[in-house]
Amino acid sequence: MLRIQLTSAAMLLTILISCGNGGDQTTTTVAAESDSTVVSKVKARRILFFGTSLTAGYGLDDVNDAYPALIQSKIDSLHLPYQVVNAGLSGETSAGGKGRIDWLLKQPVDIFVLELGANDGLRGLSVSQTAGNLQDIIDRVKAKYPKARLVMTGMQMPPSMGEKYTADFKNLFSDLAAKNKMVFIPFLLEGVGGIPKLNQKDGIHPTAEGQKILAANVWRELKPLL
């Protein structure tokens, strides 16, 4: 009975507010503030983007043009309770990532997006070594947060690296994704790699326009997880 009385009182208060100064506009404002508060309170689900300069947004005038930030904008527009954490680091290799993943896992992770390996490939490092390092990172995420959803972004090397190496390198990502039941993005740079106008002068790092395409590539696979 007390609960019913309190609910009725709350409804009466809402009616009084809407009838006073500003009418419906006041009610809308109160509702908007309430929604914002609710979203803020539940925004504890974290999406960790763990990667290289492609994730960090190297060379961009504004870090908000990097694809993780663009993903956050999409999430916010849909009022979904997720917070993106950009843990991209320029020049990062799979071995380097293995060395810093534990520190990042000190905070909760609900979705883990792995974007590492590109710098290994450009340096011609052993494919088996890269695969081993990435598996180690995946194992640590699983051990710390067994309920976290995992996403793998695939990468490819230019033909100049040799036919066998490029084939083995490309396959290591799909193999790891299948082995660990990860959502798989076949090629992060799909629609951007090798297109001059979508890359900076170095021909490697996407421009702001290129990053929009990266965001679309990731969003296509990430959205169903949300």
| Residue (of 184, 90, 168) closest to 131 by Cα position | 168
The answer to whether 48 and 112 have CB atoms below 8 angstroms apart is yes
- Distance, in Å, from the CA atom of 84 to the CA atom of 70, rounded to the nearest integer, reads 10
* Number of C-beta neighbours around residue 134 at 10 A: 22
Q: Residue 115's beta-bridge partner residues?
A: 51
Is residue 180 within 8 A of residue 210, CB to CB? The reply is no
- Residues serving a catalytic function are 53, 202, 205
Structure tokens, 78: 């849909």
| Rounded distance between C-alpha atoms, residue 154 and residue 162, angstroms | 18
Residue 121: Cβ within 10 Å count = 23
